[in-house]
Each structure stands twice: as C-alpha cells, then as structure tokens.
Amino acid sequence: MKIQKFVPTVLCVGLAVVCFHVSVLAQTAESKREPAAITANASGVRWNVPAQYSALTMTVSAPDGQVFSKEFRAGAPPEFTLSDKQGNRLPDGQYTYELRFTTPQVRAIKDRIMPAPDDGAGIEDEQGRTDRRRLPVESVVQSGSFAVLNGVVYVGNETEPNTRRDTSTKNINKDPQQRSPGVVSGNTVTRLRNHRLSLFSAPDVVTPDDEDIQGSLCVGLDCVNNETFGFVTIRLKENNTRIQFNDTSTSAGFPTNNWQIRANDSASGGANFLGFVDQGATGTSETGTIVFSVAAGAPANSVKVDSSGRLGLRTATPVLDVHANTSNTPAIRLEQNNGGGFTAQTWDIAGNEANFFVRDVTGGSRLPFRIRPGAPTSSIDISASGNVGIGTASPVLKLEVENNQANTNANYVLGVYNEGTPTAGMRAGVDFRLGTTAGAKIDTINDGAGGGNIQFLTTISSTDTARMTILAANGNV
C-alpha cells in the first residue's frame, strides 16, 4: 500500500521537473551575429544597420522567380516593399535576400598620379589593372530569408524551441548554447512521453563497442512506437534536424574542421533547404557558413553530374561539360561587385531562338554583340596571327572580307552606312591612316538635295584637304 502511494508521488515530481526543464529551454534560442537586423512592417521588410558602410546592394529573390536589386548609399537603411511598380502585392511564399556591404579605401597618392601601364596600344594589361586596384576593402555579405503567409511577413524573430538537454553532466567539455526567448511547443509533453526514460533523470547510454542494428533507426523527440519506415534506414524526426561532424583531432598537422548537414532554418520565416555548413574548428549548432544548399521545391535534376563528370543544370542527360536546359533563354551571369575596389559591372551571356548575345546589364541591358541562328561558318574568324576574316577561315590580311556569290548589286561585300537623320554635309566613308597624322579618305557627302557626292581627301599633319569631288546631281568632277 505504501508503494502504491509512493509511485504517483514520484511520477508527479518527475513530471514537474521535466516541465520546468522544458520551460527553461523554451525561453532560449540560437543567436546569430549579423551586420543588419531585419524587421517587418505592414508594407514589407527593413534592415537596421548600426555599422558604417559606403555602399550597399540589396538583392531579393521572390517565390515566383522574380529578382529585385537595389543600391543604397551610406546611411540609407535598406528596405524591400512587397509590391511591384504597378502597386500589385507580391505573392505569398519564401523570399531569399542578400545584402552586400562595401567600404572602399582610397588608393595611395602615388598610385593615383601614376599612369596606367599598357601594351603599347593604349590598352591596360591585366597586371596593371591588378596593381592599380585599391587596397583590399571590407566586403561583408549577409544572406537569409523571410516568408509571407496570407499577407503576414515572418522575418525569423521567433525560434521554435528545442526540448533537448543543452548539456550532459557527463561531458564537461560541451559549451551551453545561448538561446533567446521562445514559445513552448504545444506537443512538448506528448513528445517527451514518447521517450521511455524522459520523465526521469536518466543517464546517457554509452556503448564502448560496435553497435549493430538489424532494422531501421529513428532518432529525435518525435519518434514514436511502431514507426512506419518503408525503405528508410535512418530517420531524424523532430522540429530541428541536424547531423553534426565534430573533428576532435589535436595532433599537429591533422585537419580539425567541423561540418554539419542542416535541414531548414530554425527560426520562423526561415528557409526550407538542405545545406552543408562549414563550422570551422570550433563551431557547433547553428553557427557556420552554408557553403552549399538546395532550396525546397527545386525542379528535377536542378544539378546533375553524370558518370563522365559532365554537369547538367535542369537536365538528367548533360551532353557537354556544362549543359543548361531551360524553356526560355538559358544564360550565364558574370557579376563583378565593388567589394574588391573595382566598379561594379554585370554581363549576361545567353542564347535563344532569336540570337546568341552578350548583354551589358549595368549599361542599360544593351546588346553589343549578337549572332543570329543560321549564320554561316567563319562568319567572323580570327586567325592565330590576329587577322580577322569575314566569310573566310584563312584571312591573310588584318581584315579580309570574302563573298563567294555572284557580284551583283545585291551582293556587295562591304557597306559603309550613316543612318542618322539626312542633313546637308552628313558623311559616310573610309579613313586610311599612316601613323597618326597622315593618310587619305574616301567619303560620300549629303549634298542637301537628296544625293550623295563622292569626295577624295588627303590627310597631311592631321589636316584633311579635298582633292576631288564627284557631284551626285550631274556626275561632274
């Protein structure tokens, strides 16, 4: 009879201890040190940046594939409004952002007054460019995510609690993780009851030998009796799942880096992803740099490496070393940021059914170079000697233009055009130079009456002198 009265008392005390332990843990969360603190408001999100910076580039990727980019000057807090230029609300879903801070330094006076080295043709060589660049500048990049659900913005200020013990009394080398206030999960007690020994202060189990499990394994506070595994061999099951690799090497010369495989962010509004985290020699838990990640919802074969080492992007059957497959203009972006002291510049290399092109994104998305489908072989061909061939694979002159069609009016091999608004005196022609001050020119000049005169000129000491003119009106010379 005394034993029956004692058991309920023990259970009540044990449950009280566990509830107290859960309550304490629920009031803490992983802290991260970032240069900018993100907050939400009715119209979007804002980042508060206490540190000084000279420039900031904000890039936000929306769940529908749109990418927004904006530059901010020093002291201007970055903001992102959840509406487009037409005032339409952006869609619900997961948003990913990147903030790139730069603080350029001034070059030394000697560097600024010295002329840039060149290759004799007025073109600065790569070494000269490298030598002239500014001293290394501080370039800090912060990336993260926020979520929009039913118009409400979640920026990750709340952290889902972890009901595990922070430390083990048997391991004095474990450092307790600092946590911030949170909210106790509604199923905390139920989850703890699923652990056979969770209601008592039970010791950890250490097996100083190999352990073989002829079956499947479930690890985590949400594992239950009679888990349905299917083909799963190992399952991690709770609100925050991580696999940690802690290298305990201490001898000189041995690697000591810690790594983690991380599934999803631990904060509300965080990203859904699977990532590999570089945690350095001392990092644990939520610290470290995500060096590789795959976002939830990525299409099939987003990244595929076949048995020959060929890389496929959105294709399971890459044909060449890198093979990108998409339904609308596959492209590569080359983006130079200003973190190294050079002016930011972005180029795109892309192709579609209309053309292959190079796009100057920074310069207003102009297309300075284009190739149309069906262009013949050696449309432009540069030989090993630097000769340029147009329509020939073996140019023997600096510029050689060939045409193998009949020489009719429709098949001129060279055209020189000035397509500006026709005005009297407007010219189009060819300039021949000997050195920089001597040469000759052949021009066609608008005569103001709808015709084009032909004029031959000589250049002496940089001065042009007309030697002969053929009038368009009557052919007189």
- Quote the pLDDT of residue 141: 83
Count helices and strands in the chain by DSSP H and E runs: 4, 28
Q: 434 with 401, same domain?
A: no
| 454 in Cβ contact with 466 (< 8 Å) | no
Does residue 54 or residue 364 have the better pLDDT? 364
Partner residues linked to 83 by β-bridges: 89
Does 249 map to a domain? no
Does 451 map to a domain? yes
Residue range of the domain that includes 110 = 37-154
- Residue 298 confidence (pLDDT) above 50: yes
- Quote the pLDDT of residue 100: 86
Q: Residue 257 belongs to what H/E stretch?
A: none
Share of the chain above pLDDT 90, in %: 45
Q: 50 with 135, same domain?
A: yes
- Quote the pLDDT of residue 191: 54
pTM of the model: 0.66
Which of 284-288, 294-298, 439-443 is the least confident region?
Answer: 284-288
Q: 391 with 444, same domain?
A: no
Can you read off the two tokens belonging to residue 471? Answer: 């009038």
Does 276 map to a domain? no
In the numeric block, the tokens 């487009």 are attached to 84
Share of the chain above pLDDT 70, in %: 74
- Residue 76 confidence (pLDDT) above 80: yes
- Quote the pLDDT of residue 312: 95
Q: 382 with 430, same domain?
A: no
pLDDT band (50, 70, 90) for residue 95: very high
Q: 139 with 47, same domain?
A: yes
Does 77 map to a domain? yes
| 124 in Cβ contact with 176 (< 8 Å) | no
Q: 58 with 145, same domain?
A: yes
- Contacts of residue 330, defined as CB under 8 A and 6 or more positions apart, other chains included, come to 324, 350, 351, 352
Does 325 map to a domain? no
- Residue 239 confidence (pLDDT) above 80: yes
- Quote the pLDDT of residue 160: 62
DSSP state of 416: -
- Residue 165 confidence (pLDDT) above 80: no
Q: 431 with 476, same domain?
A: yes
Q: Residue 460 belongs to what H/E stretch?
A: strand 452-460
Tally of structural domains, the chain:
3
**Where among 364, 388, 414 does a domain terminate?**
414
- Quote the pLDDT of residue 409: 60
Let me know the angle formed at the C-alpha of 249 by 247 and 254, rounded to the nearest 5 degrees.
105
**Where among 121, 154, 187 does a domain terminate?**
154
- Residue 161 confidence (pLDDT) above 90: no
Residue-wise pLDDT for 177-226, tens only, equals 333 344 444 455 555 555 544 455 566 889 999 999 999 999 999 999 99
- Quote the pLDDT of residue 309: 93
- Quote the pLDDT of residue 283: 86
| 334 in Cβ contact with 349 (< 8 Å) | yes
Distance separating alpha carbons of residues 219 and 164, to the nearest angstrom: 12
Q: Which ranges constitute the DSSP H helices of 36-104? A: none
In the predicted model, what is the mean pLDDT of residues 285-306?
A: 93
CATH code for position 80: 2.60.40
Residue-wise pLDDT for 414-469, tens only, equals 888 888 888 888 988 898 888 888 999 999 988 888 889 999 999 999 899 999 99
| Residue 398 phi, psi dihedral angles, 5° rounding | -55, -35
Q: 477 with 382, same domain?
A: no
Does 115 map to a domain? yes
In the predicted model, what is the mean pLDDT of residues 360-370?
A: 97
pLDDT band (50, 70, 90) for residue 29: very low
Q: 403 with 440, same domain?
A: no
- Quote the pLDDT of residue 134: 47
**Where among 107, 124, 154 does a domain terminate?**
154
Does 364 map to a domain? no
In the predicted model, what is the mean pLDDT of residues 249-268?
A: 92
Nearest to 200 by CA among 13, 24, 22: 13
Q: 469 with 382, same domain?
A: no
Alpha-carbon distance values, 111 to 106, 108, 115 (Å): 10, 5, 8
Residue-wise pLDDT for 111-159, tens only, equals 444 455 555 555 556 656 555 554 445 568 888 889 898 888 998 766 6
Does 456 map to a domain? yes
Q: 409 with 420, same domain?
A: no
Q: 81 with 139, same domain?
A: yes
- Quote the pLDDT of residue 139: 65
Residue-wise pLDDT for 312-360, tens only, equals 999 999 999 999 999 999 999 999 998 888 999 999 999 999 999 999 9
- Quote the pLDDT of residue 21: 39
